[in-house]
Structure formats: structure tokens, C-alpha cells
Amino acid sequence: MNLGELYNDLIREHSMSGHNKRHLEKADVVEPGKNPSCGDEINLELLINGDKVEDAAFTGVGCAISQASASMMIDLIRGKSLEEAKELSRIFLNMIRRETLSGEELERLDEAISLQNIANMPARVKCATMPWHTLERAVADLGK
């Protein structure tokens, strides 16, 4: 299996898996995100404890890339501090913008690295980045 196939499998797995697609029993913030150009819509739910993302989940509809990106993001930020979540978001968005990142930074994205080739598909970039922009707004709302 080459890397491209492995990445496609990861995207497919995440887009089909429901493990992050649910409602939290309680949430401190519910942030909507939309990508009208593709019809992707999510509601991101975060449960915060102190400065930590205690739990996260999402509901929504959309293409495989948007739903996989949301699911991978949630796996990454669960249990992390809000500062770390912001940092991961910065790294992910820079990866999609093809900015230079260290190997160490890329490694922190774990499975979300599988979305890096989306940078070559301008029509799909918003599908991949929409959940992360939604996260940034959710964190900003919490700070208010």
C-alpha cells in the first residue's frame, strides 16, 4: 500500500466512523460551521474543564473530506488544553496553505496529516479547513 492509498483509507474510515459524530450530554460551546460551496455543515460541541477540552463531538452533513477532517480534529484535541488546540489548528491550516512546517510539527497532526494532499485540490481546501476554522471560533467564543 502506498502512502496515498493509506491516506485515502484513513479519510474513508473517519468519514464513515461515527465515533465522534454524536451529541455531548452537556457542552460549554456549540459552534456552527459551514462551507456553502460544497454543502458541508457541522455543529462542533466542546465540553471544557478548566483550560482543557474534556470532550468534543460533532454532528453534521457533508462530503467525506469535511466529515473526516472534523473527526480527525476531534481525536486530536480531546484531552488537550485550549492553547494546544489552537496550536494544532495553526499547524493544520499552515499545512493546507503549504507553509513550511517542521517534521515535529507535522507529527503532532497524527492522522490529520492524511489531509495534506488536499492542498493540491483548491476546490476541496474549504472542506478540509472548515472544521478547524469552526474550532478557532469556538475557542475564541470561550475566551469572551
Name the residues that contact Zn ion, by CB under 5 A: 38, 40, 63, 66, 127
- To Zn ion, the closest distance from the beta carbon of 10 in angstroms equals 17
User: Cα–Cα distance between 77 and 46 in angstroms, integer?
Assistant: 10
- To Zn ion, the closest distance from the beta carbon of 130 in angstroms equals 8
CB nearer to Zn ion: give 109 or 131: 131
Name the residue type at position 6: L
CB nearer to Zn ion: give 27 or 131: 131
- To Zn ion, the closest distance from the beta carbon of 28 in angstroms equals 27
φ/ψ bin of 23: left (φ > 0), alpha (ψ from -120 to 50), beta (otherwise):
beta
CB nearer to Zn ion: give 63 or 93: 63
- To Zn ion, the closest distance from the beta carbon of 62 in angstroms equals 5
Spell out the alpha helix ranges (H) of 51-124.
Answer: 64-77, 82-96, 103-107
User: Cα–Cα distance between 66 and 50 in angstroms, integer?
Assistant: 29
CB nearer to Zn ion: give 48 or 127: 127
